[in-house]
Structure formats: structure tokens, C-alpha cells
Amino acid sequence: MRAFLDRWLPSPTTASRREQLRAAGGALFGLLLTALLGLTLSPGAIFLVAPIGASSVLLFALPASPLAQPWAAIGGNVVSGLMGVLCMRLFGDILPMPLLCALAASTAIAAMFALRCLHPPGGAVALTAVIGGPAIHAAGFAFPLVTVLADTTLLALMAMLYNNLTGRRYPHAQLSAHPNPHATKDAVPTVRLGFKPEDLDAVLKQYNQVLDISRDDLESLFMQTEQRAYQRRFGIISCADIMSRDIVSAEFGTSLEEAWQQMRTHRVAALPVLNRARRVIGIVTQTDFLEHGGLDDYRGIRQQLQRFLRKSGVTHTEKAEVVGQIMSQHPTTARLDTPIVDLVPLMADSGFHHIPIVDEELRFAGIITQSDLVAALYESRFAEAAA
């Protein structure tokens, strides 16, 4: 009996209880404000339609879904409503109600596919236009073009505000696949040996069904699955195992001349910038010196660099004088227990050369460079082969 039920019951959700409460809170917030605004704009008239409740499930519980994006929601609901009203106007007197309902929903699906705005609640909007009663029928095309459009637009605006405030990217636009940070035609390192975007496109075409997940999210999940498989096979090496601990650092007020001299003396290409609590507030690299020093022209670069590093000697100047004025703020960091395979996409694809490591209190503990990462991955594979 249990095996029989398992075939019919859905798999347990992977969303945490906090995420579930976040989605429910979003629906409460979005529908309440949408209803209040709709009632204010259209007192005494139809101000909220039932399919908007279904739209709220997508926009707040599945904000990354292609079916939940603003154009899908607004376009899908409005186009479906237009199909429902059109079917009612053309065939309302000659077709039986069951066939009319089926025709409205099916033409709505076809229209949403054609306009790339597939949104499941749209089918309910089309049915509402057919069986919604005298008030809906009397409204005619004003039902989708005024009521449905206003409700869905307001809900989408609420979703943009709420999702972004609660840490969910919305609209969840499709990101470009693996842009090369060096602006060349070479594929980024992580896709040169693993699966490529073309492989995923071919499989999706062969699958030939609508997926409720964006292509870039699907690819990211595959990449993370590969990383976990690597950890299981070769063991977990954490950042604490390979990071450099005796690190030369700077403070916000460290002079540019001193910082440059430190980098030259210790032959490093970057300095983490720490506050008095030893928390990372930035990172300054050789590139920052070159960009802020206006050293684009190689001619006379030595003299330009000297002028840039030299103190102006005045109290107020537009010239950068300390590290805090040229550093990159809010740098990407990792924790002591972060597996080093998680750093591979950052360093191989995104162009990071140095990643500061922080402890459980977010205090600076060390730094990992590309050289550290390459050496660690090489040693782990070498040890596996030797065994």
C-alpha cells in the first residue's frame, strides 16, 4: 500500500520552513495591497478576480519560474481574458457551455505560447470570461483590458518589491551563459571539459516539454551537482586547509605609497582592507592602482605612478591619497569551512584572483589565491592517483 501511495504522492518540498513562510507572507502582502488599490481605483465595480490568487502562488512561491515573470503574468492573464471574451462574443449563442469553456481555455494556451507569456492562471482567466456571470459578460473587453490588467500589474509590482526585499531576484531575468571576463571568444575554463551550454540546449530540445525553471538556474544546478560529486569522490578540502594565514593587509587610511610599497616588498598583487575589528571592508589590487592612477598610456608610466603615489601635501584634494578611496568595496569572501571546489567558478569563470577568508565571526582569517587553488586541486588528484 505504501509503494502504491508513493507513486501518487508528490515528493517532499525542498524549500525550508522559512522560505514557505516568506512565500505565504508575500501572497498576504501582495493580494491585500492589490485588493485595496483595486477597490480604491474601481469602487463598486469588479476590483479583484479569482485567478489572481493563482498568480500570487507563482509570483511569490516560485519567483524564479519562467511562468512567473512579469510579462508571463501580465501578458498571459490579459491575452487569456481576451480569448475568453472573444470566444463568448463569437460562439456564446451557438456552442454548448462545456465546449465553449474548453475552446476558451485551449485558445488561451495557444495564444500564450505564441506570445511567449505562458502563465497557468491564464486558463482560469479565460474560463472566468465565459462563466463569470452577467457582470463579467457586461464588462466585455473591459474585463481583461481594465480589471485583469490592473490586478495583474499591481500584483507584479508588489512581487518586485517584496521578493527583492526578502532576498529573491525578481524579475528573474535570464542571465547570459558564462560571459568571459576577458572579453574573448574562448569558453570559460569550467565548460571546456564539462558539459557545455550547447549540450544543455540539445537535451532541452529533445525533452520537448515546458520546464518550470529558467535555463540558467538549471545549468547552475547541474554545475553544483558536479561539484558535490567531485567532493564525494576526492574528499572535501576546505578553505582553512589551504589558505595563506600570514597576510599583509591594509586599513582604510593606509597611504597609497605605503600600500604600494607593501605589495612590492612582499610580491603580492592584492591587499585585503580591514577595519579595527579585523573585518574585511574591501580589497585593493594592482589593477585598482592602475585604473585610479590613469595609467592607461604605457609611456611615462613610471612618472605617472610616482605622481599618483606622492602625497599632495594639502588637507583637501580630489586626488586619491589613501587605500579606502581606491579599494573595491564589499569583496567576495568565503568561510573557513567552505569547500574549495565552490571557489572554482569564481576564480576560473568570474575573474577573481584573490578571495579573503573569514571565520564564523566574519573576521579576516586568511586569503586564497588562484595559485593556492590550482596547487590544492592538483595535489588532491595526485594523491588519489597515487592511492
Of residues 117, 120, 111, the one with CA closest to residue 51: 120
C-alpha cell at 52: 489572481
**CB-CB contact of 159 with 170 (8 Å):** yes
Alpha-carbon span 367 to 122, nearest angstrom: 52
Of residues 237, 262, 272, 271, the one with CA closest to residue 372: 237
Looking at residue 12, its pLDDT comes to: 74
Q: Residue type for 328, please?
A: S
Looking at residue 115, its pLDDT comes to: 96
Looking at residue 195, its pLDDT comes to: 67
Looking at residue 234, its pLDDT comes to: 60
* Residue 357 phi, psi dihedral angles, 5° rounding: -110, 135
The model carries a pTM of 0.66
Looking at residue 73, its pLDDT comes to: 97
Taking only the tens of pLDDT, the chain with its 387 residues reads: 677 666 777 777 788 899 999 999 999 999 999 999 888 877 657 788 999 999 999 999 999 899 999 999 999 999 999 999 999 999 998 999 999 999 999 999 999 999 999 999 999 999 999 999 898 999 999 999 999 999 999 999 999 999 999 999 899 876 655 565 556 666 665 655 566 777 778 888 888 887 777 777 787 777 777 777 766 666 677 888 888 888 899 999 999 989 999 998 998 889 999 999 999 999 999 888 877 776 655 555 666 667 777 776 666 667 788 888 888 888 899 999 988 888 887 887 677 888 999 999 999 999 998 888 877 776 666 655 555
Alpha-carbon span 326 to 323, nearest angstrom: 6
Alpha-carbon span 358 to 370, nearest angstrom: 17
Looking at residue 41, its pLDDT comes to: 75
* 364-369 vs 334-335, strand pairing mode: unpaired
**CB-CB contact of 129 with 84 (8 Å):** yes
C-alpha cell at 238: 576546505
Looking at residue 387, its pLDDT comes to: 55
Looking at residue 189, its pLDDT comes to: 58
Give CA torsion, residues 16, 21, 22, 27, to 10 deg.
140
What ranges in 42-148 are assigned the alpha helix state H? 51-56, 70-91, 97-114, 121-131, 134-139, 142
9 φψ region: left (φ > 0), alpha (ψ -120 to 50), beta (else):
beta
Looking at residue 295, its pLDDT comes to: 60
